[in-house]
Structures are given as C-alpha cells and as structure tokens.
Amino acid sequence: MNKAGNQKTSNKITESPSNFSNLEKMSVNELLIGINQEDGQVHLAVNRAIPEIEKFVSLLVDRVKAGGRLFYIGAGTSGRLGVLDASELPPTFGVPDNIVIGLIAGGEKALRNAVESAEDDWNKAWEEIQEHGFNQNDTVLGIAASGTTPYVIGGIKKARENSLLTACITCNPEAPVSKEAEIVIEAIVGPEFVTGSTRLKAGTAQKMILNMITTSLMIKLGRVQGNRMVNMQLTNKKLVERGTKMIMEELKLEKEVAKSLLLKHGSVKKAIEAYK
C-alpha cells in the first residue's frame, strides 16, 4: 500500500497528514482498500470510549425520565450527524421530536450548504438552546471532531454555567472542548485518509457513538420490546407490513386481523396491549 514514509500510524491528531501519499496516483482498488483499512480503526477507538459513553447514558436516562431533553450542538459534518440522529428517533421509536434536538451552526441551510463563519460564533448555540426554553434536566452534547469549534465550545460553556449536564464527542485528545464539558467522550481515530477530512473516520466514529447513545436511551425509556421497534411510526407500507408481522408472531393472529388491529391502535405496542 502506498503509505507516506514519514508518518507514524500512531499519530492521534485528526488534522495530521494522512498515512497515505500520492492518492491521485492510486488505482480505484487501492483507494478503496486504503479507506477501508483506515475505517478498521474506528470501532476500536469507539470501544475504548465505552466507559465514558456508559457514564453519560446512565445520567441521561434519569434526566430524560425527569422531563429533560438532549440537545446536540455541532457544525459541519458533526452538526449534520447530530441533526440526522435526532430526526430518526421519532419515526423509529415513536417519541416526540423534542426529546432529542439537533442544532447545527448556520441553521437548516447548513444541512446542505456551508454557511460562512457560522461555526465561529461563540454565543449562537446557547441562544438557540434558550429558544427552546431549557430546564434544569436538559443535557447538552457537543459534537466536534477537532474539538476546537467555537459554536460548540461556547454552547457547552454556557450550558454548564447554567447547571445543565454537558458532554462532548471529539476525536482529538485533550481538545479545547474537553476542558469545558463534564463528560468527555474521545474517539481517537488518528489522521484521515484524505488529510483533515473529518467526514471520514471521525464522522463514522461520531455516528457510531450517537447510535449507541440514543438507541440505549430509547431502550431504557421502554420504546423497544424484546428486540423490536414496537413504537415505530407507521409512515409507509413497509413499516405497516413489519408491524403486522410483529403482531402476527406475538399474538398468533392471521395477517388481516393483525393488520386491522395495528391500524386501529396506531402502533405495535398499543395493538398488543389492547388485544391482551
């Protein structure tokens, strides 16, 4: 593999030069193998962060049960991942869309286009959190691969000053954001295949951690039964069919009876409870 001879694979900083050089001279096969090789480090980095993720989720569950919400704040790829994770929870688990709230520097426009200097505003994230009428059980999780984003650092700092639980996900050790957050989740994935492109390994690590946090949260909130999404929203034919099958298997009913029961009650869980 075409590795740069002057780089150490143990380098921890996401902005450090890639372990690979002359990418434009590689074949497609070499590029794909190289990217995949780098991605192999991600799950190991996330695994090392599990103790802090566990600490965070354990506190988060109690706070959400007490009426708190989880705010994600991030910019660029990190912000988009937060918004993505938050937006997937209502259809998957049937929870209101204000349980987990994703905020991105630059607002909705930034989901598709870069918004110049939006991430450099130290005060904006906290202003946006205040617009949602924060309460003392709320939690703020800053997502920043480099750990240097002013939008995230400022939001974490102000949230902590106002006695909210704060945490961060970063891919650099001892990053500035880590000095402000109470719980620091570090997924140290090292330099990217394309130097500084943290949409790659860092982005994958962040998405994995967000999946772990909210899936565990939803399970502990009772939104999963056994291993099934019994509270999912019936937003398309595929999900209606899936829900019907769950009811058929659980209650030993014929398909049409199960489907009728599902549509009447609006969720697998409600249908099963009503029948029993």
Could you tell me the two tokens for 141?
């999780």
- Burial of residue 5 (CB within 10 Å: 0-12, 13-18, 19+) is exposed
| Sole residue written with tokens 């398309």 | 236
> Which position among 15, 38, 54, 88 bears the catalytic label?
88
End-to-end CA gap in the chain? 61
Helix residue ranges per DSSP H, the chain: 28-39, 42-48, 50-65, 76-93, 124-131, 150-161, 201-220, 237-251, 255-265, 268-275
119 given a catalytic annotation: yes
Q: Which run of H or of E encompasses 70?
A: strand 70-74
Distance CA 210, CA 70 (A): 12
Could you give the CA distance from residue 87 to residue 91 in angstroms, rounded to a whole number? 8
Q: Is 256 a catalytic residue?
A: no
Write the CB contacts of 31 (distance below 8 Å, at least 6 apart in sequence).
Answer: 23
- State residue 25 phi and psi, 5-degree precision: -95, -5
Q: Which of 119, 180, 192, 250 is catalytic?
A: 119
Residues designated as active site = 88, 119
